[in-house]
Amino acid sequence: MESFLILVVNLLAVTAMLLFPFFKTRGRGIITISVITLQSLLSILLAILVFSNGAFEYTLPGSFVTGEINIRIDQLSAWFMLIISFSFITGGWYGLQYMKHYKSETSAITLHAVAFITVFTSLIDICIIRNSFVFLIFWELMALSSFILIIFDHTKRDTLKAGINFLIQSHISILFLTAGFIWMKIRTGTFDFDAIATFTSTQPAAIGTGLFVILFIGFAIKAGFVPFHTWLPLAHPAAPAHISGVMSGVIIKAGIYGILRMLLLIKADMVTAGYFIVSISAISGLYGVMLAIVQHNLKKLLAYHSIENIGIIGIGIGVGCLGVGYHNQVVAFFGFAGALLHTLNHSLFKSLLFYSAGNIYQAIHSMNIESMGGLMKKMPRSAWLFLVGSVAICGLPPFNGFVSEFLIYSGLFKGMVSGNFLSSIFMLFTALSLVLIGGLAILCFTKAFGIVFLGQSREDHSFDSDPEKSSRIIPMSFIALAIVIIGVMPALLMPALNQCAGLYQEGLIPVDATGIINAQETGTIDSAIGTISGIGWYSLIFIAVTALIFLIRHLLVSKREQRTDITWGCGYTGDSSRMQYTASSFVRTYRKLAGGVLDVKREKKEAEGLYPTDLEQHTHPGDTLERWLIEKPVISVRKFLNRFLFLQNGNIQAYILYGLIFIALTILIPLLSENIESFINLLKNL
């Protein structure tokens, strides 16, 4: 049955593309959302079967190039298939309404729909393929179709620049993956994934660790780890809102899946791998959130938070590796379970935030935070949903971000008291970095929600469409509901998480539907899950009581006469919209403290005359690593190539001369090489 479901998922994609020429734009949209929904439901069913009955495997004959193609769906594949499917269902239904704004662009929408289906299908196939050659084909297919999704609004220069940047860096990722897989093909004679495990288990740990680092870089570029992140803050703002949500929710998670899969296959030194992953992840988390705070573009702010949360996921993976390396089952469980759960959680609250940002964009046609304000009065449902996502991404109860971060914290604290001195100190500083990440995230989203939705509008915006239609709000509400359910009932996911974490260490704490049982450290893990559930329920009760108080207040004062007037300003009444914090002034103290790390340029209009009228200051946040790793090398290459511009002089005689020189060299070089070889032999004889 499983093989039949896989076949149907792929056939549905092909069928949809064959049907597109026979329908108009509206019909193609209906076909796209129908196919994505069916594919997602079948993938969810397939994942449930794996969690219920165990891993499933079969082999395709392949060809003389690929060899046999093994298809295997284990619990790790099933977990990511669930994440991919839910994100594409909600993203597809949200995007169906969002793309109506562009219904006149028939050809662009058709290509967009084809790419959307292709990305989903390739992601599902990436999760189940166990042949490195075929894996790279689907990885390339995912990269190309993602590029098409990003450049939908290709008439804008910045959009094309972001798309090309993404495409180039995606192929740098593929180069590293290809290098690692070709190395294994040369050493093992096959493209099969299982051969990697067999080969590395017979080699010194340094060989496996080196292979892991090569493949890690390839997957880290896709995931957005620092310093491989520079494509991500450009691509997210350029793409349509539903693509930004899907990209942050699942496309960058393909890199996380690749890292987790290689950790299962490659027999590397898990302690070294753990220290390496935690170090780069802590830097990613801190760097991402520090840059997010100073952004003025709302989608770019959310993009840097994707880097931050990839860092948090990486910390969980690294902690799990350290647990396996030091043979500590509880630390391994908390690390891998926290990382896997945060992968799901991030896909939920980040897609919710991007969809809310999409509603704002189609309402005011701007993502500039400095021009917003007071939007809660005109977009109340989007505001409340954005608030749910903001609280969740900050890791506060009773929402899902708290649960996964609590698991990672539990792994760090357990590692401190049960490890050696070096690992304890390392875990301590990692926990402190995670605390700092959480605190800075709260600062960032306090700014984002407050400046965007509260106060008064800083500019006059004409709402030329209804950005809160039910067809958009319903999928967003389902995401918010999932965020709350995971936050208050995390035990529901513990059986699946334990099966996934158990892949990394034999005998890792079996569970049933009621929670953790029959474990060496039953008390520790059971207590942690109980604490999470308790905090979630108490927080939910507190929110319910608060809502009840506000409801009672509303009922009591609703019948009283109300009037609206300007805010009293100590006798100096004026434009109250200018008497608010701006996004820049809100974080001014932070910006000055972190000025040594941040690349923020200030543009200031000085006061002129005795009674100046206009005083302005603009800040332009930049990315230091992007400047040093991308911009400066590109500028240097351009300067070098500009020295040869004289060759392109437009003179036809010069171009004929170049051709003659090339022909002469092709004749002379072989002759010279033969003479040189004869001369060398003569010298040897002497």
Q: Which residue has the higher pLDDT, 591 or 611?
A: 591
How far apart are the C-alpha atoms of 569 and 579, rounded to whole Å? 9
Are 649 and 636 contained in the same domain? no
Question: Which residue bears the tokens 């109506």?
Answer: 100
Helix (H) or strand (E) holding 602: strand 599-605
Say if CB 323 and CB 411 are below 8 A apart: yes
Instruction: Specify the DSSP class assigned to residue 25.
Output: H
- With CA atoms as reference, report the closest residue to 232 among 313, 307, 301, 143: 307
What's the pLDDT at 518?
44
- 61-65, 537-541, 583-587, 646-650: which range is least confident on average? 646-650
Residue 461, CA atoms < 13 Å, CB-side half-sphere: 25
Peptide bond into 227 cis (omega under 30): yes
**Cα angle 240, 241, 243; round to 5:** 70
**Residue 154 pLDDT > 80:** yes
Q: Output the CA torsion sign for 102, 104, 108, 112.
A: positive
Query: Average pLDDT for residues 21-46, to the nearest whole number?
Result: 91
How far apart are the C-alpha atoms of 377 and 456, rounded to whole Å? 9
| Structural domain contains residue 350 | no
What's the pLDDT at 170?
94
**Cα angle 103, 107, 110; round to 5:** 80
What's the pLDDT at 205?
85
**Residue 106 pLDDT > 80:** no
| Structural domain contains residue 148 | no
- 364-368, 463-467, 471-475: which range is least confident on average? 463-467
**Residue 566 pLDDT > 60:** yes
**Residue 567 pLDDT > 90:** no
Query: Average pLDDT for residues 397-409, to the nearest whole number?
Result: 90
**Residue 571 pLDDT > 60:** no
What's the pLDDT at 460?
76
What's the pLDDT at 142?
95
- 48-57, 340-349, 359-368, 411-420: which range is least confident on average? 411-420
Are 649 and 667 contained in the same domain? yes
How far apart are the C-alpha atoms of 398 and 351, rounded to whole Å? 19
> What value does the mean pLDDT of the chain take?
86
Say if CB 259 and CB 224 are below 8 A apart: no
Beta strands at 67-73 and 56-63: parallel, antiparallel or unpaired: antiparallel
Residue 178 CB burial class (10 angstroms; 0-12, 13-18, ≥19)? middle
- With CA atoms as reference, report the closest residue to 542 among 353, 442, 397: 397
Query: Average pLDDT for residues 448-464, to the nearest whole number?
Result: 82
Peptide bond into 621 cis (omega under 30): no
| Structural domain contains residue 665 | yes
Report the number of distinct structural domains present in the chain.
2
What's the pLDDT at 523?
58
How far apart are the C-alpha atoms of 179 and 507, rounded to whole Å? 34
Say if CB 127 and CB 80 are below 8 A apart: yes
- The structure tokens listed for 235 are 């691509």
- The structure tokens listed for 275 are 């220290």
**Residue 508 pLDDT > 50:** no
Q: Which residue has the higher pLDDT, 470 or 274?
A: 274
Please tell me the pTM assigned to this model.
0.90
Where does residue 55 fall: left (phi above 0), alpha (psi -120 to 50 degrees), or beta otherwise?
beta
- The structure tokens listed for 510 are 């079996």
**Residue 639 pLDDT > 90:** no
Q: Calculate the dihedral angle through the C-alpha atoms of 562, 567, 569, 570, rounding to the nearest 10 degrees.
A: 10
What's the pLDDT at 628?
83
Q: Read off the pLDDT band of 538 (50, 70, 90).
A: confident
| Structural domain contains residue 32 | no
- With CA atoms as reference, report the closest residue to 396 among 524, 286, 247, 538: 538
* Tens of pLDDT, residues 357-392: 999 998 888 899 988 888 988 899 999 999 999 999
* Residues pairing with 620 in the sheet: 601
What's the pLDDT at 524?
64
Q: What is the 3-state secondary structure (H, E, C) of 625-680?
A: HHHHHHHHHHHHHHHHHHCCHHHCCCCHHHHHHHHHHHHHHHHHHHHHHHHHHHHH
**Residue 34 pLDDT > 60:** yes
Helix/strand/coil percentages in the chain, nearest 5: 75, 5, 20
Instruction: Give DSSP secondary structure letters for 226-257.
Output: TTS-TTHHHHHHHS-HHHHHHIIIIITHHHHH
Structural domain including 622 reads: 597-604+615-641
Q: Read off the pLDDT band of 645 (50, 70, 90).
A: confident
**Residue 582 pLDDT > 50:** yes
Q: What percent of the chain has pLDDT over 90?
A: 48
What's the pLDDT at 573?
58
- 310-319, 605-614, 646-655: which range is least confident on average? 605-614
The CB density around residue 580, as the number of other CB atoms within 10 Å, is: 17
